[in-house]
A = this chain, B = another copy of it.
Amino acid sequence: MKNRPAFTPLLELLPAVVPFVGPSALERRRGRRFRLRLGANESVFGISPRARRAMQESLDLVGWYGDPESYELRSELAKVHAVEMENIVVGSGIDDLLGLVVRSFVTHGAAVVTTLGAYPTFNYHVNGYGGELHQVPYREGYNDLQALADAAGRVKARLVYLANPDNPTGTWYGAGELRAFIGRLPPRCLLVLDEAYVEFAPRDAVLPMDAADPHVIRLRTFSKAHGMAGARIGYAVTDAETISAFEKIRLHFGVNLVAQAGALASLRDEDFVRDVVRAVEQGRRDYALLARSQGLSSLPSATNFVAIDMGSAEGARAMVSALAERDVFVRQPGAPPVDRYIRVTVGTPDERTLFAEIFRQALASSR
């Protein structure tokens, strides 16, 4: 159109892609609900009863703006992690925080390193702010730490993204390996450590918090073990100077009051999260056994999902389709070599029994 307002040159050039088509959008496109929704790593184990009560009660206050400083929640998080409130920022989930990190550190053309096939929303933000993505392939189902560090040094990366435990593979590294990896990164590089699944990980896979270190930012969420994906709330921990810089650009009134109330209550319900973690462990074992019973292997996982090896990208694509035809939603990772897997979220025991049955049928029909 003549004389229409001009978008920024960056926006004009961006491709029309979205990082994920949501489960509800997929259902609309299919014209049918899923019977088993096991493709978005949502928690099927509900929310803490305390979180539910807090959220319900918060509806009485929903006419008020929530606290833009998330003071109570940050106070509690500071205690939990033995850091200061000044080391914490709360956002509308890790997606929001990834956008904030990228916007804060990535200028046009700045180099950013990630694993090929890792979390697409990080890439979406890097592209959205004009950064240049350098992607390092997975190596046997694991992030290739040596190759990531090498790439970061070579391209002088501003940011390196790593999920630990990883998504979409579920694999993880121990704190010692992470520390060595951080030591190999270039001196002015920031490690964006996505810990969405950290509650499911063994203790020795969790790097101790060192909030004085400006070279690492830890991202956490209430979407997974806490079961509050729909509430949109997460947080980041890093040095206070970085958090102060975020204050200059972040959306101060972005996090809703219901989520703040729920997150605070859920954080205080350690028993609930512990029970969820145990239930998920059992589910991972079930999936691994199911795969093995069908002559398939699966990756070790410290998350709420398991990646089952279908032998090839074609095999994985066929299985995702065969499951979808049977109203089961799972995802296939987006890039080789990890596109040979299907990623299946841990369901309830009943859902897992049903999944096993449908999985065997789908496999038999495709063989």
Which residues in B have their C-beta under 8 angstroms from that of A188? 3-6
A residues contacting the other copy or chain, number (CB 8 A): 89
Which residues in B have their C-beta under 8 angstroms from that of A294? none
Closest Cβ of chain B to A94, distance in Å, is 10
Interface string of A202-243 (1 = CB under 8 A from B): 000000000000110000000100011111100000010110
Closest Cβ of chain B to A292, distance in Å, is 29
Partner of A64, one of B6, B42, B55, B62: B42
Name the segment of A137-145, A168-176, A249-257 touching the other chain: A249-257
Knowing A16-B244, A96-B254 touch, does A215 contact B4 (C-beta < 8 A)? Answer: yes
Knowing A16-B248, A248-B15, A254-B92 touch, does A65 contact B1 (C-beta < 8 A)? Answer: no
Closest Cβ of chain B to A119, distance in Å, is 12
Residue A313, interface by CB 8 Å: no
Which residues in B have their C-beta under 8 angstroms from that of A8? 103-107
Docked CA distance A45–B62 (Å): 11
In the complex, what residue of chain B is closest to A217 when comparing beta carbons? B5
Residue A69, interface by CB 8 Å: yes
Residue A80, interface by CB 8 Å: no
Quick check: B14 and A249 within 8 Å, CB to CB? yes
Knowing A20-B252, A22-B65 touch, does A190 contact B5 (C-beta < 8 A)? Answer: yes
Quick check: B92 and A214 within 8 Å, CB to CB? no
Docked CA distance A110–B18 (Å): 27
Knowing A4-B241, A25-B68, A259-B256 touch, does A248 contact B11 (C-beta < 8 A)? Answer: yes
Which residues in B have their C-beta under 8 angstroms from that of A43? 63
Knowing A20-B252, A25-B71 touch, does A241 contact B1 (C-beta < 8 A)? Answer: yes
Interface string of A21-56 (1 = CB under 8 A from B): 011110010000000010010111111000010011
Interface string of A298-339 (1 = CB under 8 A from B): 000000000000000000000000000000000000000000
Closest Cβ of chain B to A261, distance in Å, is 9
Number of copies: 2
Quick check: A6 and B105 within 8 Å, CB to CB? yes
Quick check: A62 and B227 within 8 Å, CB to CB? yes
Knowing A3-B187, A107-B9, A232-B66 touch, does A19 contact B215 (C-beta < 8 A)? Answer: no
Docked CA distance A20–B24 (Å): 35
Residue A59, interface by CB 8 Å: yes
Which residues in B have their C-beta under 8 angstroms from that of A40? 64-65
11 inter-chain pairs at a CB distance below 8 angstroms, sorted by A residue, are A5-B190, A6-B158, A20-B68, A22-B253, A42-B63, A56-B59, A62-B231, A63-B227, A92-B251, A96-B251, A232-B254
What is the interface of chain A, defined by CB distance below 8 A to chain B? Answer: 1, 3-9, 11, 14-20, 22-25, 28, 37, 40, 42-47, 52, 55-56, 58-59, 61-69, 71, 92-93, 95-96, 99, 103-107, 121, 128, 158-159, 187-190, 214-215, 223, 227-232, 239, 241-242, 244-245, 247-249, 251-259, 262
Please name the 10 residue pairs, one residue from A and one from B, whose CB atoms are nearest each other, closest first: A230-B257, A5-B190, A3-B187, A24-B67, A62-B230, A4-B214, A22-B68, A232-B256, A14-B248, A63-B227
